[in-house]
Amino acid sequence: MLVVPGSPGHAGTSAGSARSGTDQVYQTTPAYGLPEPLADPKNAARIRSNAAQTGFPTSTPPEATPMAHPDDRKYTETHEWIQESDGVITIGLTSFAVDQLTDVTFVELKESGTTLNAGDPVGEVESVKTSSDVYSPVDGEIVEVNDALESAPETINSDPYGEGWLVKIKVADAAPLASLMDASSYESSAS
């Protein structure tokens, strides 16, 4: 719910305090969290005018721009990114996958020491929209899990190519890595 001061006589109430009789209350839309009246140009102009007088923020979120896929990784058809270093791969979700999932709310990953075959799930990512398995492209053993995602799964949304990594796997056979897509090929396939 969004409370917008409704008149010059607004008493300057704060969150949690009683609203004045002139305050206007709007239900926010679930998709964007924006007040429904902003969709109507007449209401939007009035709301922005009142907001300017009271110091209430008037900006709306900018349109999302696609995040570039880093060139230092390989990509799978199931929208995981893979970064290899010294026989260990790090797996995460691409920005395309994150955009499709929307707000990530829960992450469950297999434990360190788990042996995997190529195509086995390394875990599951749940969002407000759906849930999705994340797959290993290689045979190997999980050597590290991003435990920080347990308490902060939204990190996948805010930093999918950095702090939002999922697991690290010691590779038993690196041959399948050669068939993964580079950033340019992945961008073409994901669009």
Task: List helix spans (H) across the chain.
Answer: 41-54, 95-101, 148-151, 155-158, 183-190
Round to whole Å and give the CA distance between 168 and 84: 9
Mind listing the pLDDT tens digit for each residue in 157-186?
999 999 999 999 999 999 999 999 999 899
Instruction: Check residue 3 and give its pLDDT.
Output: 37
CATH fold label, 74-190: OB fold (Dihydrolipoamide Acetyltransferase, E2P) (2.40.50)
Instruction: Check residue 11 and give its pLDDT.
Output: 44
Instruction: Check residue 188 and give its pLDDT.
Output: 85
Domain ranges of the chain: 2-54, 74-190
Q: Which has the minimum average pLDDT: 12-26, 57-71, 93-107?
A: 12-26
Q: Which has the minimum average pLDDT: 25-29, 55-59, 103-107, 130-134?
A: 25-29
Mind listing the pLDDT tens digit for each residue in 113-154?
999 999 999 999 999 989 999 999 999 999 999 999 999 999
The answer, yes or no, to whether residue 18 has pLDDT greater than 50, is no
Bridge-based pairing of strands 115-116 and 104-109 is unpaired
Higher pLDDT among residues 42 and 96, named by residue: 96
